Amino acid sequence: MKYPKIDLHMHTLVSDGTDALEEITARVREKGIALFSVTDHDAIKAGSMIPGLLEKGDPDFITGVEFSTRDERGKYHVLGYGYDPASGAIRDVTEEGHRLRMKKVTARLEFLRREFGVSFPEGETEALFGMDNPGKPHIANLMVKYGFAASKETAIREYIDKLRLPNEYLRPEEAIKGILASGGIPVLAHPSYGSGDQLILGEEMEERIRRLKAFGLLGLEGFYSGFSRKLHREILGFAEKFDLYVTAGSDYHGKNKLVSLGDVGEEDGEERPEGLIRFIKDVQIYESPAV
């Protein structure tokens, strides 16, 4: 196998990670990862920039993105791999996801000010809106910094999540359509996990996969740092049943999550499923320079 170690799900400063784009390739190399993808939320900046940053000896790269989507039946994180970052289709979906994200940031800041008297210096607010894709973790970190909460988790649970936002969201079929139209492969991220602590199993999981496959879903994230062996085996079983690709990702966020880069739940000596082998064969890969 050309890629003995892979990690296809990680985040940078472009969304809610702590590593800059210029740092992530070096960290990936240090971990011995041979093939990687950066999947920032609702953002394709990494897909546009990292191929130009690759140097001799660097790991190979797949363009990636993670769209936060929802419909009347639940919440889904849809990964997109191997898309053309210059495609208007992927850019349209990204811009819509970003628009909705910024609308939520504005609503959350107003809610915190109105309900809890939480406000930040003007410079901090300007910096927040100047980020590529700010979200709940960024607001929570500010709350900790200015003494409004003891921890990021407390800020989100006890304050930020008290706001019930209007039902305005990017739908899974929109994300899937945009990924496909840009030459990419749409994959359901950490399929067993829904909203909050929701765990999706068995018939409910199968129905969800059938519905998303009808929209054009092509793969499932079968290897994931947060999966038990039972969840891992169930998702691999569904991938085989529905003839779907399989991907592997850690969901690394740097210092914002206790997840190690390269930890995709793949055990030593474990035989890779046919769906993962096919994915690596079929997806568009940017190879690091040979000279």
User: Pairing relation of β-strands 74-81 and 60-71?
Assistant: antiparallel
> What is the rounded distance in angstroms from the CA atom of residue 4 to the CA atom of residue 6?
7
pLDDT 10s digits, 217-266 = 999 999 999 999 999 999 999 999 999 999 999 999 998 888 999 999 98
Q: What is the pLDDT of residue 6?
A: 97
**Is the model more confident about 290 or about 37?**
37
Whose CA is closest to 238, among 185, 180, 191? 191
Q: Taking phi first (over 0 means left), then psi (-120 to 50 degrees means alpha), and beta for anything else, what does residue 133 get? A: beta
Task: Spell out the domains of the chain, with CATH numbers in brackets.
Answer: 6-95+172-282 (3.20.20.140), 101-162 (no CATH)
Which pLDDT score, from 0 to 100, does residue 1 have? 61
pLDDT band at 268 (very low <50, low <70, confident <90, very high): confident
- Measured CA to CA, the distance from residue 269 to residue 271 in angstroms comes to 6
Question: Considering the entire predicted model, what is its pTM?
Answer: 0.91
CB 176 within 8 A of CB 78: yes
**Single-letter amino acid code for the residue at 136:** K
With tokens 């210092």, the residue in question is 255
Which DSSP symbol is given to 32? Answer: T
pLDDT tens per residue across span 94-130? 999 889 889 999 999 999 999 999 999 999 999 999 8
CA–CA distance, 14 with 12 (Å, rounded to integer): 5
Distances (CA, A) of 130 to 39, 49, 134: 20, 19, 8
